[in-house]
């Protein structure tokens, strides 16, 4: 049985990309647009709830901002890692995003919350 070269996976390093200039992978743009749309919808909902002018809403809403902000950053951080190390990744598909999130956060935990390309 002949030995065949494995297909390039999500996190396989592209050796022929050395010395290239940075360019944004087109598969990242839909993810950016989706995150922007989620943020816009959230801000619209906050505005609509604030229109009610009830005391309970005005007390409850500021307590949500740190939680929502942390959640938004948790979704955004793996995407930023993907953009920074663009040449080390294959095309980003929606099914890969969960894998990239897990891989990124495991690398952060094992490296004392510091990330480098070799960790991925």
**What pLDDT does residue 117 have?**
63
Count structural domains, the chain: 1
Could you read off the pLDDT tens digit of each residue along the chain, which spans 120 residues? 455 554 555 455 454 554 454 455 566 667 777 777 877 888 787 777 777 766 666 667 677 777 777 777 777 777 777 777 666 666 666 667 677 777 777 877 776 777 666 665
Euclidean distance between CA atoms 111 and 103, whole angstroms: 12
Domain for residue 45, yes or no?
yes
| Host domain of residue 64 | 25-119
| Model pTM score | 0.37
Q: Is residue 113 in some structural domain?
A: yes
Residue 10: inside a domain:
no
| φ/ψ (deg, to 5) at 97 | -60, -40
Q: Is residue 20 part of a domain?
A: no
Does 15 fall in a domain? no
Could you tell me if residue 16 is inside a domain?
Answer: no
User: What pLDDT does residue 108 have?
Assistant: 77
């Amino acid at each position: 049985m002949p030995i065949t070269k494995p297909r390039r996976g999500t996190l396989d390093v592209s050796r022929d990309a050395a010395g290239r200039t940075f360019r944004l992978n087109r598969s990242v743009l839909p993810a950016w647009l989706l995150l922007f749309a989620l943020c816009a919808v959230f801000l619209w909902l906050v505005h609509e709830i604030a229109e009610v002018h009830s005391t309970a809403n005005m007390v409850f809403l500021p307590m949500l901002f740190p939680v929502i902000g942390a959640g938004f950053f948790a979704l955004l951080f793996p995407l930023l890692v993907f953009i920074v190390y663009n040449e080390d990744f294959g095309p980003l598909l929606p099914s890969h995003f969960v894998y990239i999130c897990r891989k990124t956060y495991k690398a952060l935990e094992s490296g004392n919350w510091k990330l480098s390309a070799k960790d991925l």
